[in-house]
A and B are shown apart, each in its own frame.
Chain A
Amino acid sequence: MALSRSNWRSRSESVVIPLAALMVALVLFGIFCMFGGKNPFAVYAAIFKTAFGSWNAFQGTLLRAAPLMLTALCTALPARLGLMVIGNEGALVLGGLGAAAVGLILSYGSITPNPAQLQTTLGLAPTVVQIGMALGGIIAGGIWIAIVGALRHYRAVNETISSLLMNYIAIALLNHLVEGPWKDPASLNKPSTFPIPELYRLGNIGSTRIHYGLIYGLLACAIAYFLIQHTTFGFAARTAGGNVKAARIAGLPVGKLTIIICFLAGSCAGLAGMVEVAAVQGQANASIVAGYGYAGILVAFIARYNALAAAVVAILLGGIINSGGALQRSFGMPDATVLVFQGLVFLVVLYSESLYGRFKIFKEPEIPIAPPPVPSAAVPV
């Protein structure tokens, strides 16, 4: 009888509390807007309208959600192991560089093709080049975060600080490459790599303006969820995340788990970089550093490291980011407004962590359990 109890109450707790936190953050943001002399309700309305108000607006939201889903996994996966990796931005940049390099090599035979090579492509099928670019992004981003995991395991280097430092190193590497060895001489104002030929870029889904990156994001979230919740590998990872010592005693290869999970995490963010290069920019340049990495950390936190929830939260946050432009245009608010809002959401969500288990409503009612029929003689004194 006790076994058949459903746990809908504790499940609803993990939905209601983050939603309430979002609401509180919205109210705080409204107060912040009021101090700036803006009508908070007009601001809310503008955010809603530009984020979810029409199919066209929603497409823009989904476009921004796609990379967020992927970068969120970069924090969410290692978090199941108890690691706080925030190298999302760096892995995204590395993934973008990797994808651009592979894409150019498969298109022209060289990362810096000479004018003669630029005339004709090698003639590979678009699918081949696209798969190559995706692999380039996945491997480059994966190795980048796997380094963080290896440093954590072998040298006990704090993964938060090392991954954050590696973000800066990755951006420096990007700037170095696009302004130096990999530069397209034709890109004057905005140094970039050579562009990937139109033919090989990621197209849009049907007649929408949403590119296939959204499918990548949704698939990655679904796969990550399945991997963590329904496989022995995921079970091992969650065990090690719960108690490293117990996992070691049980004979789990903690080091291998750490490095593999970090590789997978980085490869997701790397794929986001590939999407930015192959679908949005068409080439690697400083524009791929657009803050998706840091916003991805927030998505992972709000989703409580659940990959499926991350997909939903990414759409919500994508909407907020999407509305940033409108806030700037119609209210004259600086573009950092969105950053302030993200910070507020983050802080309130963190506070809400301390509320779990504090409300009686979410507790399962105590069903009086009948005492066992046989007086327990099995318990040794």
Chain B
Amino acid sequence: MAAEALGWWGVPLGILAGTLRGSAPFLFVSLGECLTEKSGKINLGLEGTLLTGAMSAYAISYLASDKWGIPTSVSPWLGVLVAGCAGMILGFIHAWLSQQPKVNDIAVGIAMIIFGSGIAFYFGKAFIQPKAPQLPTIDLGNWSAMPAVQSALKISPLFIFGVLLAPLMAWFFKSTRWGLFVRAVGDSPDAALAMGVSIKRVRMLCIIAGSFLAGIGGACLSLYYPGLWSESISSGQGLMAVALVIFARWNPVQCLWASLFFGGAQAIGPALQSVGVDQGRYLFNAMPYILTLLIMIITCSPKKTLSGAPGALGTING
């Protein structure tokens, strides 16, 4: 590792690099979950969506360039698109099922985790070995002569897209007619009904759009960082994103900060390993989970509902 030449400076640099790389999937999944929860439903199944997205993006990128003769500059983008569409299919199943009477959306989420990861592992078995063309990166580190800095500042266009999407979504909720519909459906279904909005249709669209974003989050994993397909690639990031939305108080812009924070927490373990601190590496790698739990303990309270929480969230109504 190049970080060795930097000595202990490799740790903050590694964390910075890990933040810029590792936060992209968190960002997409949390924005997707934010949109879903704003409409009053929870989608725990985004973990399965993330895996399916990662697998389909990788598989399509590989197949398109190796088998179908599509140039490697296009094939990863095709993979990203297909990942989003695969997410939408899973989102449709979740949206349809979770709106049936007496069906609990959290239970559907657990089922979708199992189903989504099953699908991803079933079709992904063949793609663990081959090397798929990766998404291009934007190099912001050319000013530095140090290769470690250069590689740390290779930023994915998807990440930039996600960073722009966060304020855009906040604007959507705040200032557009459709954003108002979503908020109405999530906060007060009765009011939405009085406005003449179809609760079912709004929720269906929100869940499908949210799953599209989660699928793209999966593409970030397999086509950018870590840039490979394996069965342990997401390891609960989809779930952490759900907790992250609570931490971000259902605000898309705060989802962005929270994602950066989580990406950084995830990078602590590998950054320490790169300078030779190997003691307790499993515990360092578990940092994001511990952090999520701590944040939930601190932010939740039995006395009041959280500020910013959509009113209909977690209640059973049509």
Interface residues of A (CB under 8 A from B): 84, 86, 151, 153-158, 160-162, 164-169, 172-173, 175-176, 179-180, 294, 297-298, 301, 333-344, 346-347, 350-351, 353-354, 356
Given contacts A164-B239, A297-B110, contact A179 B293 (CB under 8 A): no
- A342–B114 Cα distance when bound, in Å, is 7
Which chain B positions have C-beta within 8 A of A334? 121-122, 125
Task: Select one of A158, A172, A294, A354 contacting B103, CB under 8 A.
Answer: A354
Q: Which 6 A-B pairs have the closest CB atoms?
A: A343-B115, A336-B121, A339-B118, A172-B286, A346-B111, A340-B118
CB-nearest residue of chain B relative to A347?
Answer: B111
- Determine which of B102, B110, B290 lies in contact with A346 in the assembled complex, contact meaning CB atoms within 8 Å: B110
Question: Does B68 make an interface contact (CB < 8 A)?
Answer: no
Partner of B106, one of A84, A153, A338: A84
Query: In the complex the two chains form, is B111's CB within 8 Å of A172's CB?
Result: no
Give the Cβ gap from B302 to chain A, nearest Cβ, in Å. Answer: 4
Tell yes or no: B156 within 8 A of A by CB: no
Q: What is the CA–CA distance of A71 and B103 in the complex, to the nearest angstrom?
A: 23
Number of B residues, CB within 8 Å of A: 46
B287 nearest in chain A by CB position: A172
Residue of A162, A294, A341 near B296 (CB, 8 A) is A162
Q: Flag if A161 contacts B242 (CB, 8 Å).
A: yes
Q: Within the assembled complex, what's the spacing in Å between the Cα atoms of A175 and B232? A: 15
In the complex the two chains form, what is the Cα distance from A337 to B293 in whole Å?
32
- Residue of A166, A301, A333 near B107 (CB, 8 A) is A301
A336 to chain B, nearest CB (A): 3
Contact of A151 among B93, B107, B285, B297 (CB under 8 A): B297
Chain B residues, Cβ within 8 Å of A172: 282-283, 285-286, 289
Decide: B93 and A347 in contact? CB cutoff 8 A.
yes
Q: How would you classify the secondary structure of chain A's contact residues: helix, strand, loop or mixed? A: helix
Instruction: Give the chain A neighbours of B282 by CB distance below 8 A.
Output: 172-173, 175-176, 179-180
Query: Quick check: B114 and A165 within 8 Å, CB to CB?
Result: no
**B97 at the binding interface (Cβ < 8 Å):** yes
Q: Indicate whether A342 sits within 8 Å of B118 (C-beta atoms), given known contacts A156-B302, A347-B111, A351-B97.
A: yes
Among A168, A340, A347, contact of B235 (Cβ-Cβ < 8 Å): A168
The contact string, 1 if C-beta is below 8 Å from chain A, for chain B 262-287, is 00000000000000000110110110
List B65-116 residues whose CB lies under 8 Å from chain A.
Answer: 93, 97, 100-104, 106-108, 110-112, 114-116
Say whether A168 contacts B283, CB under 8 Å.
no
- Measured in the bound complex, the distance between the Cα atoms of B293 and A154 in whole Å is 14
How many whole Å from B229's CB to the nearest CB in chain A?
A: 13
What are 29 A-B residue pairs whose CB atoms fall within 8 Å in the complex? A151-B296, A155-B297, A156-B302, A157-B296, A157-B297, A160-B106, A161-B296, A165-B240, A165-B293, A169-B293, A172-B289, A179-B282, A180-B279, A336-B122, A339-B118, A341-B118, A342-B114, A342-B118, A343-B115, A343-B119, A344-B115, A346-B111, A347-B93, A347-B97, A347-B115, A350-B104, A350-B111, A353-B103, A353-B104
Shortest CB–CB separation between residue A241 and chain B, in angstroms? 13
